[in-house]
Amino acid sequence: MELKQKLSEEVKEVMQDLYGLDSDIKLEKTNPKFKGDYTFVVFPYLKLSKKGPEQTAEDIGQKLNSRSSLLKEFNIVKGFLNLVIEEDRWIQALRAELSHEDIVIPDIGNGKKVCVEYSSPNTNKPLHLGHVRNNVLGFSMSRILENNGFKVIKTNIVNDRGVHICKSMLAWQKFAHGETPESAGIKGDHLVGKYYVAFDKAYKKEIQTLTNSGKSPEEAEKSSALMQEVRQMLKDWEAGDPNVIELWQTMNGWVYKGFDASYKRLGVEFDHIYYESDTYKLGKQIVAEGLDKGIFYKKKDGSIWADLTEEGLDHKLLMRADGTSVYITQDLGTAQKRFEDYKMDKSIYVVGNEQEYHFKVLALLFKKLNYPFWQGIYHLSYGMVDLPSGKMKSREGTVVDADDLMDEMVQTAKEQTESLGKTEGMSKDELSELYEILGLGALKYFLLKVDAKSKMMFDPAESIDFQGNTGPFIQYTHTRINSVLSAGGSFKFNGVTQLEEEELSLIQSMVEYPETVNEAAINYNPSLIATAAFELAKKFNRFYHQHSILAAENEDIKSFRLALSEQCGKVLKHSFELMGIQMPDRM
């Protein structure tokens, strides 16, 4: 039984003996300012004890000390009972961890099915920085859930139809003169994005001409010939016009090939990819069902809506007057299709925080329709990513392109590594692989170390620093451990009787790591894994500089420190695997 859990059980037994309380209790990590491993806060129990906080803590501490198999000593700071575990119990816990070839995470998922939807690109432009955070977050969350015993299905919904797709199609028809990815020498997603931008420029120019002729902005938008052509193209697409369908298939094919290359380089994958062009039809059926049952209503212009005012929201458009669908229509269909495919217990949508209202509506619509899976809908909301002014502008000058970003990170890794003189004895191919691992590792770690809900500032140079809270710092620590183990040769852990402060701190972090992985799954928060990895790497480097490993006082201590280093390396590697980051063999 894990030490914290066992100590919690012992405190629970004491609380039952003293006060007849039969409920779970919570232990917290002791504030670093005070001596202790775990802290029991007694303030909530003063009504039961009918005493002050200090005396209540004293009574509990004395009772626990007289019967606990774990407790070495305790101290009291007001109503906080700080508990210190015997050092030999930490050593035993380390021995138990070393007995497993892999890191063992308590199974809290029990095989429950969870669908994690991430990426969700549009086929009118390449992936950008926001997509990178989305993909990295979704893939890491999937791995964390899998390690906690959940059956995870990684899914992607590609928004491959709609007005925005028709804009790039129409622009290609008008301005491309038959240009293809092969003739242009660029990735297909970038080529299609080029014509999406071309449409926007032409549209703005048209609006400006109309307003200069005396029309109001609203009148100009309504009379825009380009926008009318786009809307007609969408109608023709939904009607199955063969020419429109052929162009759509061709351009989407270019984009998918580009996406696949970006996904492969980023190191993310999916178990199932859904397409809006398939699911929107099912969404329309669901809307029609709700209309027939009187759950939704139709306006005079033919558009279909849901009245959500009783739930504190507003009226939500579900179908346009011309019969074409909107985003929520597609999401209704996708959710239903996914449930038919997998019968999952939970659906996690990794989508930016600007869509919080959208997912409240989605769950509420399914609740009104009495679909069973509405309670399992969870929006893993994340904040937007900003960059320092002037850094890495995209080709369009508006967003940061994912491919450009990855190129920039690998180049920065190359420059940083060479400036530190860390390239000696490595071949050109080995260095190329190392720069890729360091660059993309720095990118992923920097995006994951911040709580997903927070807006963040991404600085490429800062992210790849070999000092501080960065991926390369932890990767370098891992290669340092490998170097020590290689020089240390074979060893057998016979145990020690006394621990140095840095050794005990390392053991505590490693023993507590599985609980951190549980917490990351429960709270849908990969940043907990990143924090644990950084803290462990810092502790190892402090230990490494304070105490000799290979020239220890005797063979038992040397073996113990090698075992400690080996387990630390295993935990660091495991944490990076959960974040989808590679560990280099050397650097």
Sheet with 377-382: list strands edge to edge: 272-275, 151-158, 113-117, 346-352, 377-382
Q: How far apart (Å, rounded) are the C-alpha atoms in residues 253 and 274?
A: 15
Does the pLDDT value for residue 391 go beyond 70?
no
Domain 3-85, CATH homologous superfamily name and number: Arginyl tRNA synthetase N-terminal domain (3.30.1360.70)
Lowest mean pLDDT of 154-158, 354-358, 391-395, 431-435, name the range.
391-395
From the list 559, 566, 570, the residue with the least C-alpha distance to 492 is 559
Q: How far apart (Å, rounded) are the C-alpha atoms in residues 389 and 394?
A: 13
Domain 402-578, CATH homologous superfamily name and number: Isoleucyl-tRNA Synthetase; Domain 1 (1.10.730.10)
Average pLDDT over the chain reads: 93
Percentage of the chain beyond pLDDT 70 is 98
Pairing outcome for strands 38-41 and 28-29: antiparallel
What average pLDDT score do residues 74-78 get? 95
Q: Residue 494 half-sphere exposure, CB side, CA atoms within 13 Å?
A: 7
Does the pLDDT value for residue 276 go beyond 50?
yes
Task: For residue range 429-447, list pLDDT tens digits in order.
Answer: 999 999 999 999 999 999 9
Does the pLDDT value for residue 1 go beyond 70?
no
In which band, very low, low, confident or very high, does the pLDDT at 389 lie, cut at 50, 70 and 90? low
Lowest mean pLDDT of 80-84, 221-225, 294-298, name the range.
221-225
Higher pLDDT, 521 or 222: 521
Higher pLDDT, 345 or 398: 345
Does the pLDDT value for residue 397 go beyond 80?
no
pLDDT at residue 456, as a whole number: 83
From the list 466, 493, 472, 504, the residue with the least C-alpha distance to 86 is 504
Task: For residue range 152-192, list pLDDT tens digits in order.
Answer: 999 999 999 989 999 999 999 999 999 999 999 999 999 99
DSSP element (H, E) containing 75: strand 71-77
What average pLDDT score do residues 89-99 get? 90
In which band, very low, low, confident or very high, does the pLDDT at 420 lie, cut at 50, 70 and 90? confident
Token look-up 């005990």 returns: 504
Dihedral sign for Cα atoms in the order 122, 125, 126, 127: negative
Radius of gyration of the chain (CA): 29
Q: What is the DSSP string of 496-518?
A: -S---HHHHHHHHHHHHHHHHHH
Q: So where are the chain's domains?
A: 3-85, 161-270, 402-578
In which band, very low, low, confident or very high, does the pLDDT at 395 lie, cut at 50, 70 and 90? very low
Q: How far apart (Å, rounded) are the C-alpha atoms in residues 510 and 492?
A: 19
Token look-up 């508990």 returns: 83
Percentage of the chain beyond pLDDT 90 is 84
Residue 77 β-bridge partners: 80
